Structure 1
Amino acid sequence: MTRAQAAAAEPSSFEIRMVDVGGQLLRVGLKQGDKRKPALLMFNGIGANLELAAPFFEALGDREALIFDIPGIGGSPAPLLPYRPSTLAALAHDLIVQLGYERVDVSGVSWGGGLAQQFAFQFPKACRKLVLVATSAGMIMVPGAPNVLMKMASPKRYLDRDYMRSIAAEIYGGAFRRNPHLIERHAAGMRGSTQYGYALQLLGMLGWTSVPWLWMLQQPTLILSGTDDPLIPVVNAKLLATLIPNARLELVDDGHLFVVTDPERTARMVEAFLDEA
C-alpha cells in the first residue's frame, strides 16, 4: 500500500498517530472535540482494529474520543511478553496521561468491556463514567452457543473477508441477519489480526472475572445489551447491572455489534448518558 492509499484508507473522523508508551508502540486514533467535555476512551472487541469504531466516533458529534489498537492487533506491534487486563489498563492510563487527559469517560465493547471494567476499578480517579456494551463479567458468565463460541476462537474472520461474510449473521445476530450490506461495510473496515496477537487477547482474559469487585465500582455506569446476541446473552448484562451499584441497563433490539450496525442510535444513547449531571 502506498502512502497515498494508506492516507485514503484512514477514517476521516480520526487523527491516527503512533505513540510510544513506556517502550510499547500504540497505534492511536484520536477524534478531536469539545475540550469542555470529558473525552471518551474506548476499548474495542477482540481482534478488532480501531477503524471499526469510525462510524460510532463520527456519530458522537462534538465529543472528543480516542481508541488504540491493542498490542498485537491492527497497527500496534505485539509485545514481547503476554499481558493481563491489569497490564493493559495501566498501559491505557499511561497513554491518556501522556496525551494530557486527567479524567476520561470509559467505554468497552465485548472483550473490551472487560478491559473497561478493569480500568474503572484500577484507576477510579481517572474514570468519570463507564459504558459497557455487549459484554460480561468475564469467566463467570452465561456463554453463548458452543458453535458460535468455537468460531470466535480463531481470528479467521478478520483474515478472510469471505469467511466473515459467511458467519457474521450467525455469530453476531441482529441486523446482520437482515441486511447483508452491513456485513460488507463491516468487512471493509477490517485490517487483519495476527494469530499471535489474537492468542494474546484470548490468553489475557483467561480466568479473569470482575465479579469479586464489581460492587466497589462507584462510577455511574450504562450497560447496553442486544436482545439478539448469540455471543453474550442478555442475562450477562443483567448480572452486571445487579452487581454494579450505580448502574442501569438498556436493551437494544439488535445483535452483538449494534455499535457497528446502528452507530447513530448507539451514539445518541451514550451521549445522553454522558451528558447527564
Structure 2
Amino acid sequence: MMTAGGRELRVATWRLNEPSHHLPVLFFNGIGANIEAVAPLAEALDDRGFVMFDMPGVGGSPEPVVPYNTFTMAWTTAQLLDQLGLDLVDVMGVSWGGAMAQHFALQHGDRVHRLILCATSAGMLMVPGNPAALSKMADPRRYVDAAFMEKHFATLYGDALGKTAGKGSHMSRLKPPTRRGYFYQLLAMLGWTSAPALPFLKKPTLIMMGDEDAIVPPINGRFLHSLIPNSELEIFEGGGHLFLLSHREQSISCMRAFLDREEARKAA
C-alpha cells in the first residue's frame, strides 16, 4: 500500500530492482479490473520492470471518499513514480486505462518515452460499440455475479477467449470493485476526450485493437492512428475486447517488437 495525492492505493511492481536495459512499463488497467487480472502480462514481459495499481475502490485500494478525474489521477500517478524512483517509463493502457494512458502522456510527457494503447478510444468522441455489450459493461454485476459473467461473457468479450482455457483463468482472477469505486471510474471520464490534443502527442505509439471488439470497435483505433503523428496500428483478427488474453502470444510479440525497435532506433 502506498499513499499519493491524498489517496491510499494498492500498488504492484515487478523486477524494478533487477538490472535491465529497458525502461519499466507503467500500466493503466481497464474499468473495475484489479491487479491480478493483468498480472500474467506483467510476468510475460519478463525482461523489464512493470508497475500497476488498483484504482480507488478497485481490488485492494480503499473506497474513494471524493471523486477524481483524469487530471488528478495522472498527478497522483506521477507522485507514485516519484516514490518508486522512476523518472521515465513506457506507458500502456487497456480500454478505460488506455484513456488514462493517453491523458498521462499528455499531462506528464516528460515522464513518458513510448505509449501502447489497447482496445481503447479518444473518449467521448468514440464510435460506440454494440449496445448489448455496453449495457453489460456498465453493470458491475459482471464482477460480483459469476453466473452473470458466464452468461454474458461472449457478448462482452467476444468468442475467441471463451474458446480457450484463458476464460476461466481470467474470471478466477477478478475481484469485484465497490459500487462507488466503479461509479467514480465511470464519472472520471464523463465529458473527457483526448482528440484535440492528440495531434500534439509526439511519442512513438502502438495502437492495438481487436477486429471483433463489441465494446470498442476497431474504427476507434483507426481514429487514434489518424490523430497521433508517430503511431502505428495493429488489428488482431478474431480478437474481442480481451485480445490480450485470447491472442496472448501474438500480442506480446507485437509489443516486444515495437518496444525493441524503438529502442534500437533511439540507440542508432
The TM-score, its normalising length taken from structure 2, stands at 0.93
Any conservation in 1 of the 2:22–2:47 contact (CA below 8 Å)? no
Question: What stretches of structure 1 of length at least 5 have no aligned partner?
Answer: 1-17
Which residue of 2 is the match for residue 144 of structure 1? 129
In structure 2, the residue matched to 1:242 is 226
1:127 and 2:109 are equivalent in the alignment: no
> 1:6-36: per-residue Cα shift (whole Å, max 9, x none)?
xxxxxxxxxxxx1111431111111105433
Quick check: 1:52–1:260 contact (8 Å CA) kept in 2? Answer: no
Residue of structure 2 equivalent to 1:168: 153
Question: What residue number does 1:98 align with?
Answer: 83
Distance of 1:239 and 1:120 partners within structure 2? 18
Task: Specify the SS of the correspondent of 2:27.
Answer: strand
- RMSD of aligned Cα (Å): 1.2
Match of 2:35 among 50, 70, 75: 50
* Correspondence for 1:218 among 199, 202, 217: 202
* Cα distance in 1 between the residues matched to 2:66 and 2:156: 30
Matched to 2:6, the amino acid is G
Q: List gaps (5 residues or longer) in structure 2.
A: none
How far residue 177 of structure 1 moved from its aligned partner, in angstroms, is 4.3
Aligned to 2:71: 86
Distance 1:126 1:168 in 2: 37
Q: Is the 8 A contact 2:90 2:114 kept in 1?
A: yes
What secondary structure sits across from 1:232 in the alignment? coil
Which of the numbers 16, 23, 43 marks the counterpart of 2:6?
23
Match of 1:41 in 2: 26
Q: Which residue in 2 is equivalent to 1:204?
A: 188
Tell me if the contact between 2:144 and 2:176 (Cα under 8 Å) persists in the aligned partners: yes
Taking every aligned residue pair, what percent have the same amino acid on both sides? 46
Say whether the 8 Å CA contact 2:10–2:54 is kept in structure 1.
Answer: yes
The range that moved more, 110-119 or 57-66, is 57-66
In 2, Cα distance between the equivalents of 1:47 and 1:38?
27
Which AA in structure 1 matches 2:32? G
Q: 1:212 & 1:105 partners in 2: Cα distance?
A: 22
> Do the aligned residues in 2 keep the contact of 1:137 with 1:209 (CA within 8 Å)?
yes
Alpha-carbon distance in structure 1 between the residues aligned to 2:10 and 2:159: 30
AA matched with 1:108: G
Name the TM-score, length of structure 1 as normaliser. Answer: 0.90
1:189 aligns with 2:166: no
Structure 2 counterpart of 1:107, from 92, 95, 102: 92
Which residue does the alignment assign to 1:230?
A: 214
* Preserved CA contact (<8 Å) 1:59 1:263: no
Tell me the distance in 1 between the aligned counterparts of 2:8 and 2:246: 30
The aligned residue for residue 14 of structure 1 is none
Contact 2:20 2:47 in 1 (8 A): no
The size of the alignment, in residue pairs, is 259
Taking the aligned partners of 1:69 and 1:26, their CA distance within structure 2 comes to 6
1:65 to 33, 50, 70: 50
Q: What is the distance in 1 between the residues matched to 2:91 and 2:242?
A: 18
Confirm or deny: 8 A CA contact 1:55 1:263 kept in the other structure.
no
Distance of 2:234 and 2:73 partners within structure 1 = 28
Give, in angstroms, the shift of residue 160 of structure 1: 1.4
CA distance in structure 2 between the aligned counterparts of 1:159 and 1:267, rounded to whole angstroms: 29
SS in 2 for 1:201: helix
Q: C-alpha displacement at 1:79, in angstroms?
A: 2.4
